Structures are given as structure tokens and as C-alpha cells.
Amino acid sequence: MDSRILIVGHGTAGKALAADITQRGGTVVGFLDDLVSGPDVLGTLADVNEVVARHDVDLAYFAIPSVDATTVRDFINSVDVSRVDIAIIPRTHEILTRETVDINDLTDVDVLDLVGRKPVKHDVLSAQAFVRGKRVLVTGAAGSIGSRLVKQLAGMGAEVVVCVDWWENGIFFLSEELGSAASGIEYHIADIKNDLLLTQLFERYRPQVVFHAAAYKHVPLMQANPIEAVNNNVWGTLNLMQLATRFAVENFIYVSTDKAVNPVNVMGSTKRIGEMMMQAIAADHPETAFNAVRFGNVIQSNGSVMQTFRSQIAKRQPLTVTHPDITRFFMTIDEASHLVIQSAIVGEASDIFVLDMGEPVKILDLATSLIHAVDPTLSVEFVGLRPGEKMFEELSYEPDKVAATPNSKIFVVRDAQEFDTADFMNKVGELLAATRSYSIDSIETVERLRSLGFAIQ
């Protein structure tokens, strides 16, 4: 190891990394830090290029895993990458909770490093107290959010965690990953539209808590397949909510989306219908606490911009951005799934929660920072907004009507839209009768959604 290395960050991670490099025979020329001074601190983060030139640095290792993404992006963008290569200790909960780091933890700069807030340690104790001894059912258990929920729930002392998904391979991989060490986990291949099979599962397990994460979520695909979007996201959700009331489920948590706010696409409309059905059903069934959780883009989820950019970088293709001004909220999958559990703890009847997503990020800024750090020869290609895609996302209808909860990362929406629940549920029933019998086509399905008050593009 003959490279000259500069460590960015003189905290616990930076000093542990430096010690590991030195033990392996490497050369650490010093540190950069904005808050610490000393003989081995050669300057602040803003001094990086001067320090690199003065000390003939080959590699800069960013080792401040507790910092916010804005600091990472600003630093990455300031580095003269023609003179020095960059690697990073990832900003993850797993790294943050470890006592030490070493050179094996270093990775190339990734989308995950450039978005999201400062990582926080989760309130595991309250989640364990809520889950312990209970029978829990998770739909969409093989998906991004669902599988992470299952992994977090697995160690919390539940009597049983029932994993439900139609995706055979996903359920198989989840069971393999958790292994035999995760006791009390049951796996079932089941479609949420199959009311007979789900009834059997509810009769068998009598779940006390249901996390409903199953959904079709890809906006352009659902725009092109509105009948299946309605059948899965509306009928499947109604099926589960009705079973929850029939079997006296204590807590039902519906995973929603920011696209349910003023929806302009089929997917967002179906998720908003789910929220409204929840409110209508909850009014007649106070024995079950129904709650919904809205959040924006989960950066590691299937089909996310992170996966797209990673694939394009690996293939040395241009990074595709739909519009120069498009912005999105982002959250890590660990934080999203943890806050879904926390929402169940603080929720009351028919509350809709929004998660603290931080500040929206311009996708173009994300792409240019990534290109700068990883491969400056790549370019950005603008491909235009996709069908049903918004330029900016919202988390509530009236942002000033969002109230605090005991959890600083979770807010409750107080902008409930008044509607005739009986009339609404009748119209939903008519829509489902048509889509489930396939007696209407895609165009008429969209028109039926518009008749419910949604301004679908």
C-alpha cells in the first residue's frame, strides 16, 4: 500500500480508519476536519484541493458517516478529481452503530451517499415493546419496504411474523437471508386479491398487527395498466381492510405514498383511494386502529433512481434525468421501514402520517455529483417527463396543517378532505365490479377514476 492517503474526518471513524491503514503499512498524510484542530489536521474540508497539492495526496477517504448528505455533496463537488481519487465510508445505520470501521468498509461514492438526512440511531426499545408477543402479518413482504420491515421485526420478539407475497423468488430469497436463526417467521405465497386464501391466513394466525406494504407502484406502468392498478391497489387493500375488521386486528398500517396527494396519475389515485377507504372503514370500526403512512422515494427500493444510475454507470451510459428541474424527496429504506413501525405506535384512529423526508433533492444535482465523483467522462441525458409523472411531489394537501407527534420524525396530517363516505364506497364498489370482471377497458377505467375527483393526466 504505497499511496498517500488523506482522511476526511478526525472523529471516531476517521481515526479508526487511519489506524487500520497504518497497521497495514499505508501512509496517512493527515486529516481534514471542520471542527477539530491539531498537528495532524491539515485543514478544513474546503481546503481539500490545496492540501492534496501540498502533500501530494493520491487518495481521499471520506470518513464522516454521521454527516448529512448536503455536506457530502458539497465536498464531492469541490474536489479536483483529476488529481485525487475518492472513496467513502457509507452513511448507513449499520456503520453508525458499529464501534469501529476499517479499510474494507470503504466504497465508491454512491447515490445513497448523496441523499437523505444525517443518519440517526433508531428507537428500537419502543418498537420491541410494541411488537413483543404479538402476531404480525406483513403484505408485500418480498418487496423493498416489506422485506426490510420483516428483517426489523424478526428480532423484536413477536409471537409470529407472517410474510405474505405473490413473488415466489422474493419470498425464497427472504427466507434464505433470514435463515433458521429467525424463529417465528412464516412464509406464504399469496396474492392480496385472493380473498379466500387471505381469509384462511387470517383464520389461522389471527394477526393483531398488519403492515400492508403490497402495491403496484411504478407510475408509467400503472398509467398503461390502470385495470390491474385498481384491482391490486384498491381491491387488494379493501380485501385486507375488511379482513382486519372481521378478525378484530388491533393495528392496521397502510403504506401510502406522496403520490396520493393531489394525484395526477393512476398509481397515485389508487393509493389515495386506499387512504379514503381506510378513513371510511375506520369510522365504523373503532376497535381497529387504522393508520396510513405517506413517504416519498425510498432510495434503495426496487426501480429507484439509485438502481437506475448504478446500472447506467456500470454500462458507461449517460445518466438519464427526466427534466432539469425535477425534484424528489428521498429516504433510506432502513429509516422508512423503522418509521412505519413507529407510526403504528403513535397512531390513533384513521390518522394519516407523513415522515420527515428532509429537503427535496434536484435529480440533476444528484446525477452531476455522482458523475463528478465516479466517472467525469459520463454525461447527463434529458429524456422528458414520463406519463403521469409530476415535476414536484407533495406530502400533504395543506402543508400548514401538519402536526407534531411524540416522534420527531413523524407528523400527523390534519388536512382531512371531507367526503360522503357512503357515496364514495358505493362508487368504489361499482369501479371494482367493472375492473374485476374486466367489463371495461383502460380508457373507461381512467374516466371512472377521474369521476372520483382525480385529475389524472
Q: What amino acid positions are annotated as catalytic residues?
A: 259
Round to whole Å and give the CA distance between 324 and 312: 18
Asked if 236 and 213 count as a contact pair (C-beta separation under 8 A), the reply is: no
- DSSP annotation of 373 reads H
Between strands 351-355 and 410-413, the pairing is antiparallel
Nearest in space to 350 (alpha carbons), one of 401, 293, 301? 293
- Reported as type and span, the H/E element at residue 244 is helix 236-246
Between strands 402-404 and 410-413, the pairing is antiparallel
Dihedral, 240, 246, 249, 251 alpha carbons, nearest 10:
60
Q: Can you list the positions of beta strands (E) in 84-193?
A: 85-88, 135-139, 160-165, 185-189
Burial class for 203, CB neighbours closer than 10 Å (0-12, 13-18, 19+): exposed
